[in-house]
Structure 1
Amino acid sequence: MPLSCSDLSVMYNKRKALESFSLSLEKGEIRALIGPNGSGKSTALHALAGLIRPAEGRASLDGVAVASISRRMLAKKLAFLPQQPSAPDEMTVAQLVRQGRYPHVGLFRSYDSRDEEAIEWALESTGLSDLADRSLRELSGGERQRAWISAALAQEAEILLLDEPTSFLDIGYQVEVLDLVHRLSREKGVTIVMAIHDINQAIAVSDRISLLERGRLRFDGAPRELAESNLIQEIFRVRGRFVQVDPNNSPHFDIELVRLQPAVSKASPA
């Protein structure tokens, strides 16, 4: 398995942001991490990427502890895209994508034909070849997100960790990014883990879903198995149901716009 973790726990000050989290991935799999705000999705991604050191447990890449792998060597296999990556607006798409080759080029080696091929492949895979000379300021939200994913692909990373890749995007751009994620998995064999808020998007695009609540893993399995449970209603405290719109596709969660009130404990008698 390309990436896994076992009994990961992460502390922020004295608070456990992630507790006994375990996950194992297969090559080319799309794994969605869902859960309410503060459930530990981003923390899990940072721990998998080796960006924070867990208090307990470990993340492993090809059987080797992520913490023991140098950042440059790790970047050749794994790419992490945070929620709001930043770069100068005047930078072109091609310049951004070229930065993705840094783990292979380093400070002293010049770009060679192998690097140029990787950059061209990354641009083509994300549909950005015709926009290579455009500045980032000229791009739409969806195009800019694709440019960042393209830079990650230029690393030739086999694993892509995405933190809320559709946040702040209009619905059309969200579909555009999710379609790219699906194609990268199916056509290029890239393993993808993404934290995502939209339940229906998670169900539509992922092979497996990990549902977190208050730092703990509450569910880990296929989207259809999640649909057959009552966990979405319980954890997100909404009224809703899964509707099978198309028998050939995953079920769609139809949410009533009514949030349930938290249970009020009765005062103990005096």
Structure 2
Amino acid sequence: MPLSCSNISVAYGPRTALNAFTLSLRKGEIHALIGPNGSGKSTALQALAGLIKPREGHALIEGRPVQAMSRRLLARHLAYLPQQPSAPDEMTVAQLVRQGRFAHVGLFRSYGPRDEEAIRWALESTGLTGLADRPLRELSGGERQRAWISTAVAQEAQVLLLDEPTSFLDIGYQVEVLDLVHWLSRERDVTIVMAIHDLNQAMSVCDRISLLAKGELVFSGDPGDLAKTPLIEQVFRVRGTFVHIASGAPPHFDVELAQRRSPIRADTA
């Protein structure tokens, strides 16, 4: 089991942001965390990454407590990509991706052939070889997101935590990023936990889904099983229906918009 957590609770002052959160991941799977804003998705990822200390519970990676591991040692196993990572705009793609090897080489050892090969492969596998010398400021949103994921690939971590990786991207770049995530899972056996807002993207690309509401885990399991419950309507407070567009395809949640019931008409003179 590459990563798991048991009964993690996190509080910010008097407010409980996450309560008794439990998760077990299978090697090579894509696991989605969904829920409204403020439901605890980002807090759960940060607890899994060892960035915040839970009030209760613990996270384990390869059976070892995350909190007991040094940041460098943990980085050899796990990579975390926040919602809006930052780096100097003048930094090139290759320079950013090289940072992914810091967990392996440290600050004072030079890069060896194994490191250079990992960097080359990371750029190639994410389609960024041709952009290696380009400054980050010249990249599109999708290219920049791919550069950050490439950094995690160079890190050679077997667990990747992504916080809203498709936010602020247009639909074409969203598909690019999700295709890359799917490829890392299927071809490289990377275990991925992804907080994501788009329910239908989660249903289509993820093997399992956890639904959070006000810091509580209200569902964890197969996307098809979630579609059999009324939880999406209840948690997100929307009306809609899960439909199957094609045989064998994942269910798609069709929101019932207010305009369908009462069309908005322009005023006429």
Give the alignment's TM-score, normalised by structure 1.
0.95
Query: Helix, strand or coil for the counterpart of 1:33?
Result: strand
In structure 2, the residue matched to 1:266 is none
User: How big is the shift at 1:30?
Assistant: 0.1
Give, in whole Å, the separation in 2 of the partners of 1:201 and 1:65. 32
Q: Any gaps of 5 or more consecutive residues in structure 1?
A: 260-270
Q: 1:70 is matched with which residue?
A: 70
Other structure's SS at 1:178 match:
helix
Residue pair 1:50, 1:66 contacting (<8 A) in 2 also? yes
Instruction: Identify unmatched segments of 5+ residues in structure 2.
Output: 260-269
Q: Deviations over 1:133-170 (max 9, x none)?
A: 11111111111000000001111100000000000001
In the TM superposition, residue 239 of structure 1 has moved relative to its aligned partner by 0.6
Instruction: Report the more deviating stretch, 28-37 or 127-136.
Output: 127-136
Q: Hey, what does 1:129 align to over in structure 2?
A: 129
- Preserved CA contact (<8 Å) 1:209 1:221: yes
Taking only aligned residues, the RMSD between alpha carbons, in angstroms, comes to 0.9
SS of the equivalent of 2:250 reads: coil
Residue 90 of structure 1, CA deviation: 1.1
Structure 2 residue aligned with 1:28: 28
Following superposition, the deviation at residue 125 of structure 1 comes to 1.5
User: Counterpart of 2:123 in 1: which secondary structure?
Assistant: helix
Deviations 1:32-53 (A, max 9, x none): 0000000000000000000000
Match of 2:257? Answer: 257
In structure 2, what residue type is equivalent to 1:92? T
Partner of 1:120: 120
Instruction: Write the distance in 1 (CA, Å) between the matches of 2:135 and 2:246.
Output: 41
Alignment-derived partner of residue 265 in structure 1:
none
Equivalent residues, number: 259
CA distance in 1 between partners of 2:180 and 2:257 (Å): 30
Contact 1:238–1:258, Cα closer than 8 Å, also in 2: no
CA deviations on 1:104-154 (whole Å, 9 max, x unpaired) are: 111110001000010011111111111111111111111100000000111
Whether the 8 Å contact between 1:2 and 1:26 is mirrored in structure 2 is yes
Cα pair 1:239 1:258 within 8 Å, conserved: no
Deviation track 1:189-232 (CA, whole Å, cap 9, x = no partner) reads: 00000100000000011000000000000000001001111100
Moved over 2 A (4+): none
Match of 1:95 in 2: 95
Letter of the structure 1 residue corresponding to residue 47 of structure 2: A
**TM-score of the superposition, structure 2-length normalised?**
0.95
Structure 1 residues 1-270: aligned runs within 5 Å: 1-258=1-258
